[in-house]
Amino acid sequence: MSTILTEAEAKALLKKVLSYSKADECEANLSGDERGNIRYARNEVSTSGSLINQNLQVQSAFGKKVGIATIDEFDEASLEKVVRRSEELARLAPENPEYVGLLGPQTYLKANGYFESTASITPAKRAEAVGKSLEMCRGISQAKLTAAGFEEDYKGYSAMMNSKGLFAYYPSTNINFSLTVRTEDGKGSGYVIRGYSDFAKFDPAASTRIAIQKCIGSVGAKALEPGKYTVILEPTAVAVLLERVFFDMDARSADEGRSFMSKPGGKTKLGEKIVDERVTIYSDPTHPELPASPWSGDGQPQGKVNWIEKGVVKNLSYSRYWAQKQGKKPLPGPNNVIMNGGTMSLEDMIKSTQRGILVTKLWYIRDVDPQTLLLTGLTRDGTFYIENGKIKHPIKNFRFNESPVIMLNNLDALGKPERVVSTESNQNYLLPPMKIREFTFSSLSDAV
Amino acid sequence: MGDHMGSPLLMNRRNFIQLSGMGIGGIMLPGIPVSGRPVAPEALLETGLDVAVKKRLADAALNAAKAKGATYADIRIGRYLNQYVVTREDKVQNIVNTESYGVGVRVIVNGCWGFAAVVDAKNETQTARAAEEAVAIAKANAKLMTQPVQLAPQKGFGEVSWKAPITKNAFEVPIKEKVDLLLSVNDAAMKNGANYVNSVLFMVNEQKYFASTDGSYIDQDIHRIWPTFGVTCIDPKSGKFETRQALSAPMGMGYEYLQANPSDKVTGVTTRYNKGYDMLEDAIAGAKQAKEKLTAKSVEAGKYDLVLDPSHLWLTIHESVGHPLELDRVLGYEANFAGTSFATLDKWQSKTFNYGSKQVNLFADKTQNGSLGAVGWDDEGVQTKQWDLVKDGTLVNYQAIRDQVHIIGEKESQGCCYADSWSSVQFQRMANVSLAAGKTPLSVEEMIKDVKKGIYIIGDGSFSIDQQRYNFQFGGQLYYEIKDGKIAGMLKDVAYQSNTQEFWNSCAQVCDQRDYRLGGSFFDGKGQPMQVSAVSHGSATARFNGVNVINTARKI
């Protein structure tokens, strides 16, 4: 049998698994994937690899006593063994007061995240894409350049079935590509990162050109005084700041008083305007540019959900346990995140800027204070001074201390959203470039 | 959020605690880079393959590789066991036991590396096939290669073994005892003012067998343990909250780390721990201190003399010394992910680069007792040792492995090669990198007595450093104001910013060996795909003059 099961094959296998169950409730999660990668550094391919994985996880429950076991072999004896093992573990487990039982059958939206173009990538195709990129970096006449990059692709599926009749299946593909180009003397550095569900959309030459241009353009950086500046954040920089907001949309921690969504007296900011009214952030598994699984890990349907609408917190995610306890409707956390933008291109945004800083990428983002979401990190791989609508010259990198919540209140303009990859979490998002007033840079860095 | 991968570089402990608190739904703690399949706890006590069997499997692979044209080959037969127990308040959230077994073979053919791995290989045919696959990959990659591998010679050690000097195997302690400990810790924290508490016990056993065509057959048994917690206190009126994380360290020890003797405790403004950790005592202190933080004075930004406890300083050493002195970063192999380094070869060649003041002696080692990095031999059969990185303030060396040491004129590898699994290829990883204790007798009290305007920082907090390791910002767990030689009270909202060379040159004093302790991390990330590594950093309390401190409080 192949690693990537069809919906019918997955259904048949899961039915067989559940037929062995003697527990009060049983849920089985099945997955299979194939991954490949190629890495290069110092203008040469350094490593390449591939990984095939399949896994079956069975959860059995007797009352509120729950046990989980997994196995990666799918012959009949193994299937029965993993069910028995989960039942043994359940009998031994302490009661889990937060176990709320299984969901019945659900209806899911149709999301198309599986692309044959990506599924059929071979080592040769990978090498060809990377070869093109390497050739371009080696062949630049203005400067001696050194390229280091990484391409990784994924095809796989996940499926689940439970003893109450729920069945879900979702196949998907993805490819992420990143490239750092540096001048041989270490005075310039440029970066690009791209993520796609559909390999056909990946243009290694166009991506490589961006990193080369950023690299050459960043040579000869001048120091600017740290302070508050108008910044244009490219989507790659936006992603690592905004995802801290996405990660903290959980109602429980807000209700408990330990999130930036908490308010004095055990209240939360649900229903309040917390950022500029042009900010609308939502999730939608059917979005063609960023398809995602239409069901959550526990089988709940994922629909289109507005998390922040016109600056107002519209929804917080409730686990089924927390929803029951608080008398609310459960709402799973998002499987993808999309932010509305405008129609301006990055070039238009630069043209409309009197004095400001263009930020290509932000690096080593860490929480400084979870109650304000104050973050720190640094600019890198292409930071430029803008004057009178034009990029004037490269500038030395800065450390920043800024909260995405404050930042989204100092919003000047939003550009056209595009698909980006977080350099911190590897997640793909659909986010616009943005112009922000009074972004706080606190010190200079000598790093290139 | 789907398949949430670990953040690059050192994993944020706050996130770790949050992720591990995510409940029973997932079998793996999401985002925690641990491989292996869940097993029953008893499986962790079963012994692995017999050494004689492992030797047979190894010889089959090595012979197959040589027969196919390999000029060098090594094999790692690995069994990796993990156990974690996760609780919050009065609930057990998760008990996870995992086991992973497999074989990885690495070869050099036509001057080029090749690597292949196979899961569950328990006979000679399987290991030989992995070797043949590695040879095929090396031959294919050799066509793209311009510079053949230069492998430093290494003598074979014959059949040898090394076992971590533990006195109590944590896997032999019943789970109930571990659950009881964590629940009692949580209970104590709640009774002492915590609103919430998460606690985790994390245990690792690596059973590794290495063999190479140099004639080594090395059997090793490595143990690691990390008990940790986080408490949160909330002021309902203001809506503010403060947290305090455990002052424990992940250690290369067994369960004996949780049995603290009075001599393991360092008393002072708060109790800190050496090679024995009193989790209950620390949780009680943690709850009280998180509460005290709510009303502590917000720091006034400016220049301060910093007195940094080893429970804090380890992370600054890790980021500003350990990473920039990894030779692969210096050379550019990590440019697209972990970054490069300011400590370029010319600075080292000059023999005059002032990394720090004369007080600063930094050394690398893979031998310190109880450290996370301690092993007898590294993952390419090199016997481990200790070596200087910064001597009396001057940069003198890097961290390098067999295929790199020729670049820095060394005749043999420094023995810091590591792979996080049988399935991943070994590469240069950070050794333990530590600040040597001061040679002149000096206690923490004596150090503080001389500070006019300072801040005493205990525990690690927020951390961030640029990709070449110049500019950094660090927070902590506990901050105490020092005024005219005395501790004047607790501060909050503290972070310091500096640049590596400036910071280490501002080092004025280091306490003596009596105060030397280890800190460290289980989750140092590097490589694409990323591999994790566990590493310790030792130091005694040290003083740094005139460091820039910022106030991190904001209003949203």
Q: What domains are there in chain B, each with its CATH number?
A: 13-294 (3.30.2290.10), 298-551 (no CATH)
Answer whether B336 sits within 8 Å of A423, measured CB to CB.
no
pTM over 0.90: yes
Answer whether B554 sits within 8 Å of A397, measured CB to CB.
no
A345 & A359 share domain: yes
B69 alpha-carbon distance from chain centroid: 38
Contacts of B8 in chain A (CB under 8 A): 364, 423-424
* Closest C-alpha among A44, A265, A202 to residue B234: A265
Q: Does residue A405 sit within a domain?
A: yes
Instruction: Name the minimum distance, in Å, from the CA of B315 to any CA of chain A.
Output: 14
Q: Does residue A112 sit within a domain?
A: yes
Total domain count, chain A: 2
**Number of residues that make up chain A:** 448
Q: How many CB pairs under 8 A join A and B?
A: 212
Q: Which residue of A has its CA nearest to B26?
A: A297
pLDDT for B41: 66
- Residues 6 or more apart from A323 whose CB is under 8 A from it? A329, A330, A331
Nearest neighbour of B550 by CB, restricted to A246, A426, A442: A442
CATH of the domain at A50: 3.30.2290.10
The number of C-alpha atoms within 13 Å of B326 and in the hemisphere containing its C-beta is 28
Contacts of B497 in chain A (CB under 8 A): 399, 442-443
Q: Which residue of B has its CA nearest to A266?
A: B236
When the pLDDT of each residue in chain B is averaged and rounded to a whole number, the result is: 91
pLDDT for A177: 97
The terminus-to-terminus CA distance of chain A in angstroms comes to 50
Is residue B10 predicted with pLDDT exceeding 70? no
pLDDT for B232: 97
pLDDT for B197: 97
A348 & A246 share domain: yes
Give the separation between CA B168 and CA B340, rounded to whole angstroms.
41
Nearest neighbour of B336 by CB, restricted to A93, A180, A262: A180
Answer whether B332 sits within 8 Å of A41, measured CB to CB.
yes
Answer whether B465 sits within 8 Å of A44, measured CB to CB.
no
Answer whether A146 sits within 8 Å of B332, measured CB to CB.
yes
Distances (CA, A) of B210 to B128, B158, B181, B551: 15, 11, 36, 50
Is residue B7 predicted with pLDDT exceeding 50? no
Is residue B1 predicted with pLDDT exceeding 80? no
Give the separation between CA B396 and CA B389, rounded to whole angstroms.
5
**Residues B126-147 pLDDT 10s:** 999 999 999 998 998 888 788 8
Task: Report yes or no: A88 and A61 within 8 Å, Cβ to Cβ.
Answer: no
Q: Which residue of B has its CA nearest to A334?
A: B1
Answer whether A366 sits within 8 Å of B237, measured CB to CB.
no
* Closest C-alpha among A281, A362, A363 to residue A315: A281
Task: Report yes or no: A46 and A39 within 8 Å, Cβ to Cβ.
Answer: yes
Is residue B42 predicted with pLDDT exceeding 80? no
The terminus-to-terminus CA distance of chain B in angstroms comes to 25
Give the separation between CA B465 and CA A378, rounded to whole angstroms.
8
Question: Which of the pair, B503 or B37, is modelled with greater confidence?
Answer: B503
Nearest neighbour of B336 by CB, restricted to A69, A178, A442: A178
pLDDT-derived band at B37, boundaries 50, 70, 90: low
Give the separation between CA A83 and CA A29, rounded to whole angstroms.
12
The token pair at B108 is 């050099």
A207 & A232 share domain: no
pLDDT-derived band at B39, boundaries 50, 70, 90: low
Name the residue with tokens 């990330």. B525
Q: Does residue A435 sit within a domain?
A: yes
A211 & A238 share domain: no
A193 & A227 share domain: no
Query: How many CB atoms sit inside 10 A of residue B234's CB?
Result: 22
A384 & A404 share domain: yes
- Residues 6 or more apart from B440 whose CB is under 8 A from it? B512
Boundary (domain end) residue, out of A215, A243, A259: A215
Q: Which residue of B has its CA nearest to A66?
A: B24
Distances (CA, A) of B116 to A2, A49, B73, B104, B506: 21, 9, 11, 6, 48
Q: Does residue A1 sit within a domain?
A: no
The number of C-alpha atoms within 13 Å of A209 and in the hemisphere containing its C-beta is 4
Contacts of B554 in chain A (CB under 8 A): 369, 372, 374, 403, 406
Contacts of A399 in chain B (CB under 8 A): 464, 466, 471, 473, 497
Answer whether A397 sits within 8 Å of B466, measured CB to CB.
yes
Contacts of B334 in chain A (CB under 8 A): 41, 148
Give the separation between CA B336 and CA A60, rounded to whole angstroms.
44
Boundary (domain end) residue, out of A193, A215, A237: A215
> Mean pLDDT highest for which of A42-51, B29-38, B421-430?
B421-430
Candidates A184, A207, A446, A448, partner chain B, best to mutate (most B CBs within 10 A): A446
pLDDT for B122: 87
Candidates B5, B7, B243, B303, partner chain A, best to mutate (most A CBs within 10 A): B7
Answer whether B2 sits within 8 Å of A98, measured CB to CB.
no
Answer whether A46 sits within 8 Å of B333, measured CB to CB.
yes
pLDDT-derived band at B26, boundaries 50, 70, 90: very low
A313 & A392 share domain: yes
A211 & A232 share domain: no
Task: Report yes or no: B305 and B542 within 8 Å, Cβ to Cβ.
Answer: no
The token pair at B114 is 């090749």
What ipTM is given for this predicted complex? 0.94
Nearest neighbour of B25 by CB, restricted to A262, A297, A370: A297
Nearest neighbour of A256 by CB, restricted to B1, B196, B555: B196
Is residue B23 predicted with pLDDT exceeding 70? no
> How does pLDDT run along chain A (448 residues), one tens digit per residue?
688 999 999 999 999 999 999 999 999 999 999 989 999 999 988 888 887 888 899 999 999 999 888 888 899 999 999 999 899 888 888 888 899 999 999 999 999 999 999 999 998 899 899 999 999 999 988 889 999 999 999 999 999 999 999 999 999 999 999 999 999 999 999 999 999 999 999 999 999 999 999 999 999 999 999 999 999 999 999 999 999 999 999 999 999 999 999 999 889 999 999 999 999 999 999 999 999 999 999 999 999 999 999 999 999 999 999 999 999 999 999 999 999 999 999 999 999 999 999 999 999 999 999 999 999 999 999 999 999 999 999 999 999 999 999 999 999 999 999 999 999 989 999 999 999 999 999 999 999 9
Average pLDDT over residues B79-90: 90
A253 & A231 share domain: yes
A175 & A255 share domain: no
DSSP B48: -
Give the separation between CA A26 and CA B403, rounded to whole angstroms.
52
Is residue B13 predicted with pLDDT exceeding 50? no
Boundary (domain end) residue, out of A157, A192, A215: A215
A211 & A236 share domain: no
Answer whether B141 sits within 8 Å of A48, measured CB to CB.
yes
**Residues B256-297 pLDDT 10s:** 999 999 999 999 999 999 999 999 999 999 999 999 999 999
Q: Does residue A2 sit within a domain?
A: no
**Residues B52-84 pLDDT 10s:** 999 999 999 999 999 999 999 999 999 998 888
A49 & A137 share domain: yes
Q: Does residue A23 sit within a domain?
A: yes
Question: Which of the pair, B152 or A72, is modelled with greater confidence?
Answer: B152
Answer whether B14 sits within 8 Å of A367, measured CB to CB.
yes
Backbone angles phi, psi at A188, to 5 degrees: -135, 145
**Residues B369-410 pLDDT 10s:** 999 999 999 999 999 999 999 999 999 999 999 999 999 999
Task: Report yes or no: A386 and A360 within 8 Å, Cβ to Cβ.
Answer: no
Q: Residue A284's domain spans which residues?
A: 220-448
Answer whether B467 sits within 8 Å of A364, measured CB to CB.
yes
* Closest C-alpha among B536, B513, B532, B531 to residue B523: B532
What string of DSSP letters covers A206-263?
HHHHHHHHHHHHTTT-B----EEEEEEE-HHHHHHHHHHHHHT-BHHHHHTT-STTEE
**Residues B335-360 pLDDT 10s:** 999 899 999 999 999 999 999 999 99
Is residue B110 predicted with pLDDT exceeding 70? yes
pLDDT-derived band at B14, boundaries 50, 70, 90: very low
| Segments of A255-354 assigned E as strands | 262-263, 267-268, 281-283, 305-309, 312-313, 338-339
Is residue B25 predicted with pLDDT exceeding 70? no
Instruction: Name the minimum distance, in Å, from the CA of A199 to any CA of chain B.
Output: 19
Average pLDDT over residues B206-233: 97
